[in-house]
C-alpha cells in the first residue's frame, strides 16, 4: 500500500488531559475555569484590523498563514484556554461552489438564494479534497498552538439554511420558516444536504488536528421546541454524528434557546453533545438543569456573560463575571464564555480583565481535593 503523504496524515493531538478546557468538556474536574470567547479573533483587536486591512474576509479564510496568525492573536494576547479556528460558517458553502460574499457590517450574502427543488440541485455534497486549504491551516495552527487546544466549528443546518433561503441576514426568518412548514420534504432534503456539508467541514478540521468542535446554531431560537424537534434536531444530530468516531468533545450553541436547551442537549434523542452553550437570557445553572432533563445525564455548560456588560463600569462587570462563575459552580462543568460573540467595539483590555477574573476563580470541582482546615 502506498504511504500516505505527510501532508494528509492526521496530526497527533498535542493536547493532553491537562488542558482545563478539554477536562471540563469531558466532565472532569479542573483546577481553573477555562475561558474562551466566541469571535475572540476579529475587529475588536487592532492587530486583526492591521492584517485584514487589504484582504477580504473570505480571501483571508483561504490563506493558511493568515488564518494561523489571526487565530493565534487572541491566544497570545489574552491567554485564553482554547483557540477557535478562524473561518466562517459560509466557508464550506463557498467550497461546494455557491456564489456568496461576506459583507462587512452585514454578514453573508448569497447571490442566488435557495428556495426551490431546482435551487437545491445547485448545492452539491462537500468532499474532503475541497477542503485542502482548511486542513493545511489547521495543521499549521496545531503546530504553533502547543498545549492550547484548537476548537473546530461549523454552522448548524438550520442557521446555514437561514442564510441560503433568505439570501442574507434576516431578523425574523419569514421565508425560512415558511419553507420549513410549507414544503417539509424540500426542507428536509435541504437540511440533510447541509448536515452533510457541516459534518464534512467539522470532520476535516478534526482529522487535521482540532481537539474539539462547536456547532453554531446561532439563529435557531427563532423556533418553538416542537418545530425544533420535528424540523431541525435530526439534522443537527447528523452533523454532530459526522465526528462521533473521532472522540472529540462536541459543543452545541445557539442564542435565545432557553426553550430549546433540553432538545439541543440531545438532538434527536442522541448522546452527541458534551457541552451545551447557554446564552445570557437564562442563568447558567438553570441551563444545566434543562440540559440534564433533556439528555438524561449531566451535561457541561458554556457561557454566559451578556456581551453588553463589557461596556458597563468595571465594578459592575466584575460582579457580573463572578455571578456567572458562581452559577457555573452549580453545574456539572463550566466553560466560561460570553452569551454570544465579542462585539467589534469591545475594548480588548476589558476582555483581558474578564480572562484574569475567571482564572482567579477557584472552581468548586477541582482536580485535587483541597486540604480541610
Ligand X SMILES: Cc1c2[nH]c(c1CCC(=O)O)Cc1[nH]c(c(CCC(=O)O)c1C)Cc1[nH]c(c(CCC(=O)O)c1C)Cc1[nH]c(c(C)c1CCC(=O)O)C2
The set of catalytic residues is 39, 43, 52, 88, 163
Which three cell numbers mark 208? 487535521
Sign of CA dihedral 358, 361, 364, 367: positive
- Annotation-wise, does 8 bind a ligand? no
Minimum distance, C-beta of residue 315 to ligand X, in the bound complex (Å): 28
**Partners of 335 in the β-ladder:** 302
Q: Is 203 among the annotated ligand-binding positions?
A: no
Shorter beta-carbon distance to ligand X: residue 279 or 292: 279
Closest CA to 148 of 214, 78, 198: 78
Question: Which helix or strand (DSSP H or E) is residue 109 part of?
Answer: strand 107-110
Residue number, 81 or 363, with CB nearest to ligand X: 81
- For the bound state, the minimum distance from the C-beta of residue 7 to ligand X, rounded and expressed in Å, comes to 24
Rounded distance between C-alpha atoms, residue 27 and residue 298, angstroms? 8
211 is in an annotated binding site: no
- Min CB(255)–ligand X separation in Å: 7
Q: Other C-beta atoms within 10 Å of 168: how many? A: 16
Q: Judge whether 77 is annotated as a binding position.
A: no
Q: Which is nearer to ligand X, 206 or 292 (CB)?
A: 206
Would the annotation count 43 as a binding residue? yes
Which is nearer to ligand X, 51 or 326 (by Cβ)? 51
C-alpha distance from residue 257 to each of 144, 217, 339 (Å): 35, 10, 11
In whole angstroms, how close is the CB of 154 to ligand X at the nearest point? Answer: 9
User: How many Cβ atoms are within 10 Å of 203's Cβ, its own excluded?
Assistant: 22
Q: Which lies closer to ligand X via its Cβ, residue 105 or residue 373?
A: 105
Give the residue with the Cβ less far from ligand X, 177 or 330. 177
Q: How far is the CB of 296 from ligand X (least distance, A)?
A: 28
Identify the DSSP state of 5: P
CB of 184 to ligand X, least distance (A): 24
Residue 39 is labelled as binding a ligand: yes
Grouping H, G, I as helix, E, B as strand and the rest as coil, residue 289 is helix
At how many degrees (to 10) do helices 184-207 and 233-241 cross?
A: 20
Residue in 102, 108, 92, 28 with CA at minimum distance from that of residue 275? 28
163 assigned to a ligand binding site: yes
The helix (H) or strand (E) run that includes residue 145 is: helix 132-145
Pairing, β 250-253 against β 275-277: parallel
Contact residues for ligand X (CB under 6 A)?
A: 38-43, 52, 57, 84, 86, 88-89, 102, 104-108, 153, 159, 216, 218, 341
Among candidate residues 284, 287, 234, the one with its CA nearest the CA of residue 260: 287
247 labelled binding-site residue: no
Alpha-helical segments (H) within 19-85: 20-25, 46-51, 57-62, 64-78
- 8 Å CB contact between 55 and 330: no
> Which residue positions form the known binding site for substrate?
39-43, 88, 163, 218, 340
> Which residue positions form the known binding site?
39-43, 88, 163, 218, 340
Amino acid at each position: 500500500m502506498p504511504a500516505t503523504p505527510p501532508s494528509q496524515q492526521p496530526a497527533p493531538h498535542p493536547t493532553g488531559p491537562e488542558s482545563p478546557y478539554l477536562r471540563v468538556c469531558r466532565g472532569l474536574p479542573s483546577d481553573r475555569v477555562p475561558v474562551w470567547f466566541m469571535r475572540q479573533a476579529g475587529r475588536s483587536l487592532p492587530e486583526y484590523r492591521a492584517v485584514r486591512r487589504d484582504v477580504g474576509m473570505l480571501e483571508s479564510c483561504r490563506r493558511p498563514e493568515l488564518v494561523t496568525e489571526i487565530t493565534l492573536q487572541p491566544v497570545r494576547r489574552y491567554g485564553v484556554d482554547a483557540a477557535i479556528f478562524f473561518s466562517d460558517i459560509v466557508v464550506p458553502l463557498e467550497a461546494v461552489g455557491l456564489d456568496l460574499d461576506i459583507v462587512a457590517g452585514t454578514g453573508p450574502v448569497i447571490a442566488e438564494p435557495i428556495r426551490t427543488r431546482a435551487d437545491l440541485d445547485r448545492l452539491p455534497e462537500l468532499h474532503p479534497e475541497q477542503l485542502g486549504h482548511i486542513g493545511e491551516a489547521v495543521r499549521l495552527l496545531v503546530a504553533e498552538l502547543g498545549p492550547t487546544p484548537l476548537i473546530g466549528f461549523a454552522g448548524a443546518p438550520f442557521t446555514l439554511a437561514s442564510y441560503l433561503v433568505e439570501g442574507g441576514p434576516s431578523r425574523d426568518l419569514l421565508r425560512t420558516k415558511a419553507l420549513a412548514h410549507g414544503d417539509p420534504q424540500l426542507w428536509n432534503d435541504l437540511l440533510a444536504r447541509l448536515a452533510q456539508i457541516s459534518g464534512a467541514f467539522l470532520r476535516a478540521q478534526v482529522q487535521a488536528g482540532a481537539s474539539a468542535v462547536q456547532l453554531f446554531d446561532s439563529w435557531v431560537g427563532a423556533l418553538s421546541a416542537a418545530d425544533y424537534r420535528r424540523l431541525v434536531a435530526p439534522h443537527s444530530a447528523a452533523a454532530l454524528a459526522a465526528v462521533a468516531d473521532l472522540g472529540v468533545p462536541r459543543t452545541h450553541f445557539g442564542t435565545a434557546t432557553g426553550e430549546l436547551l433540553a432538545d439541543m442537549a440531545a438532538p434527536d434523542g442522541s448522546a452527541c453533545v458534551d457541552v451545551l452553550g447557554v446564552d445570557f437570557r437564562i442563568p447558567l445553572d438553570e441551563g444545566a438543569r434543562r440540559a440534564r432533563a433533556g439528555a438524561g445525564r449531566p451535561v457541561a455548560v458554556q457561557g454566559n456573560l451578556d456581551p453588553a456588560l463589557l461596556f458597563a463600569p468595571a465594578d459592575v462587570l466584575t460582579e457580573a463575571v463572578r455571578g456567572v462563575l458562581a452559577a457555573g459552580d452549580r453545574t456539572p462543568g463550566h466553560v466560561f464564555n460570553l452569551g454570544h460573540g465579542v462585539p467589534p467595539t469591545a475594548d480588548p483590555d476589558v476582555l483581558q480583565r474578564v480572562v484574569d477574573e475567571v482564572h482567579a476563580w477557584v472552581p468548586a470541582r477541582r482536580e485535587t481535593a483541597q486540604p480541610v482546615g
